[in-house]
Amino acid sequence: MLKAVIFDMDGVLVDSHPSHMTAWRKFLLLHGRQMTESDIELVRSGRKKEEILRCFLGELASDQLRACTQEKEALFQEEMGNTIAIAGVQEVLCELGRAGVPMAVASCGGRQRVHRSLDLLQFTHYFRTIVTGDDVTRGKPDPEIYRKAAAQLRVRPADSLVFEDSVSGVLAAKAAGMTPVGIADSCRAQALLQAGASDALPDFIGVSLEQVQQLFFSTSNTQHHGLPSYSAVVR
């Protein structure tokens, strides 16, 4: 039985990836390197920022890691005014909220940035709990963040639906025993489905409470829930 819906933030609630890419590109240039395609995939992977920094710069002492984190966050703050909500997501949040469905955010972003992003779009009040990268020791694909969100919502992981946009996020949700649904463009949808997403949608336009329930209960395709879905195309 569906008892909770959990959302990743970047790329799911907030269309923040362009701002993140710009900030990371500037950061890497300051550290003497160009951003590559593999770097872009790493940034989009849903991992904690500290893990990404170590991949880019190697092992860092705690003070170096703290300084690099602050530097990257300052660059992102300059771009935050360009972030917008994912199409259709506010309508979904409103409908789930009116129906009394418990909702959570599970994002590996830093606590300050996650809360500021949600406040900026006036989304914070929809969520009973918000779990960030500062609240866990291991980032996605480890299931810790999703298990913690379910525990704080007081629901079983098996009764939770997760909306994710990264392979590591889908793997984390699956490992936690939840049902993941991908939010992705056509280029990334296949990777999410192969990772274990039960379906992949381009955005939340037209998604209703009934359709969220159908996404949870069925191995979805366009005939099941009437939404634009990539599953019938890429499977």
- Tell me the pLDDT tens digit for each residue of 120-139: 899 999 999 999 999 999 99
Q: Tell me: the pLDDT tens digits for 204-213?
A: 999 999 999 9
User: Given the DSSP bridges, would you call strands 179-183 and 160-164 parallel, antiparallel or unpaired?
Assistant: parallel
Question: What amino acid positions are annotated as catalytic residues?
Answer: 8
What mean pLDDT do residues 11-38 have?
A: 85
- pLDDT, position 222: 43
- Mean pLDDT across the stretch 55-69? 88
- Report the residue count for the chain: 235
Q: Region 26-40: what's the mean pLDDT?
A: 85
Mean pLDDT of the region 46-60:
83
pLDDT at 115 over 90: yes
All structural domains of the chain, each given as residue ranges with its CATH number in brackets, are: 4-15+84-234 (3.40.50.1000), 17-82 (1.10.150)
Please, what is the average pLDDT of the chain? Answer: 89
Contact of 190 with 234, CB cutoff 8 Å: yes
Distances (CA, A) of 64 to 49, 59, 113, 146: 13, 9, 20, 29
From the DSSP assignment, how many helices (H) and strands (E) are in the chain?
12, 8
Q: Do 43 and 20 meet the contact criterion of CB atoms below 8 Å apart?
A: yes
pLDDT computed for residue 12 by the predictor? 97
**Residues 117 and 14 sit within 8 Å (Cβ to Cβ):** yes
Whether the predicted pLDDT of 25 surpasses 70: yes
Question: Distance (Å, rounded) from C-alpha 102 to C-alpha 82?
Answer: 29
Tokens at 149, concatenated: 């969100």
